Amino acid sequence: MILTAVICIVLGIGLILLCIFLPTENNEPNEPQSKDANVGDVIPDEPPSEPQIPVESGNTQNPEQGETPVTEEPEQPSVPVDPEPVEPEIPEVPETSSEPETPEVPETPSEPETPYVSSKNDPLLILANVGNPLPEDFEVGELETVQGNYKLDARAASYAREMISDAKSEGITLQLCSSYRAISLQKTLFENKYNYYISNGWSAEDAYAKTATIIAIPGTSEHQTGLCMDVVTPSYQVLDAGYAETDAAKWLAENAYKYGFILRYPKDKQDITKIIFEPWHYRFVGIENAKLIKDSGLCLEEYLETLE
């Protein structure tokens, strides 16, 4: 009996405890269920937000979301691609090809045709020699100083000064020893040379003929025109054939035509000019005529015969 009573007491206590603990167990699971439910709600929300960030870096955890932005982003660079090809079309607009047409305009080849005024009436081609004396009423044009007291016709003076300056820049010193001469001075020079030969036993006829090959007969001298000059150099001031071997004479023979001057009495033309070889005597005929005479190898007398 006693054992039976004890068992009943224990069972009763157990039932009481069971009743006490049953409600708390029902409440406690509610809380974890709500936590579990929250966790469950958050879990599906978080994954989409996380893969959205790495989608640009090619995260493959969520390929479906990665494909959408990948296809949308390449469409953006396609926008600037269109304007870029349009811009290169702009350089096609500067059709400045018309500009090179302007240099074609100065068709200066027509200028060489100005050998041109190369007529016998060209005042720069006036001929003065034994067979062509200057008119008695001839008057020289306006004179300008070239060097020291030496003067030339204004049409030739500036070119002479430029030639002397350019030669100097190349280490060549050109020194004038004669230029324009009045007919009175020409007479004095001729007489002096003539008397020199007479004093040395020459006949009057021979003295005159010899003098005429060296000093132009008054009225036939180019010096009277103001268009010629005698040029030497400080290291060689003798008027003889030896001067042709100096650097100054060689420079003149090569460059004088560029300034409108020609070697008036060449060595191989004495039978035509009737004057001895004078490597120091240069005559201004203008740049165009000088070039033509230089290229042709003609002397002034021959050149004039080719003109109308």
Question: How far is the CA of 100 from the CAs of 97, 103, 105, 107, in angstroms?
Answer: 6, 6, 9, 13
Backbone angles phi and psi of 239, in degrees to 5: -90, 85
Determine the average pLDDT of the residues in 190-216: 95
Say what the pLDDT of residue 262 is: 98
Contacts (Cβ under 8 Å, ≥6 apart) of 213: 274, 275, 276
In this structure, of 26-40, 102-116, 158-172, 280-294, the range with the lowest mean pLDDT score is 26-40
- 83 pLDDT higher than 90: no
- Which positions are annotated as active-site residues? 278
- Looking up tokens 């005479």 gives 293
Alpha-carbon distance of 161 to 302, in angstroms, equals: 28
Say what the pLDDT of residue 164 is: 98
Say what the pLDDT of residue 266 is: 97
Residue ranges of the alpha helices (H) in the chain? 2-52, 63-75, 78-81, 83-86, 101-104, 154-169, 183-199, 204-214, 247-255, 270-273, 287-296, 300-305
Say what the pLDDT of residue 40 is: 42
Say what the pLDDT of residue 64 is: 42
Say what the pLDDT of residue 11 is: 75
Alpha-carbon distance of 214 to 270, in angstroms, equals: 11
Say what the pLDDT of residue 23 is: 52
pLDDT tens digits along 116-174: 557 888 999 999 999 999 998 999 999 999 999 999 999 999 999 999 999 999 999 99
pLDDT tens digits along 57-67: 444 444 444 44
Q: What is the mean pLDDT of the chain?
A: 78
- 70 pLDDT higher than 50: no
- 87 pLDDT higher than 70: no
Say what the pLDDT of residue 119 is: 82
> What percent of the chain shows pLDDT beyond 70?
64
Say what the pLDDT of residue 6 is: 65
Say what the pLDDT of residue 12 is: 73
pLDDT tens digits along 16-36: 766 665 554 444 444 444 444
Side-chain-side CA neighbours of 94 within 13 Å: the count stands at: 6
Alpha-carbon distance of 164 to 168, in angstroms, equals: 6
Alpha-carbon distance of 39 to 297, in angstroms, equals: 115
Say what the pLDDT of residue 92 is: 55
> What percent of the chain shows pLDDT beyond 90?
59
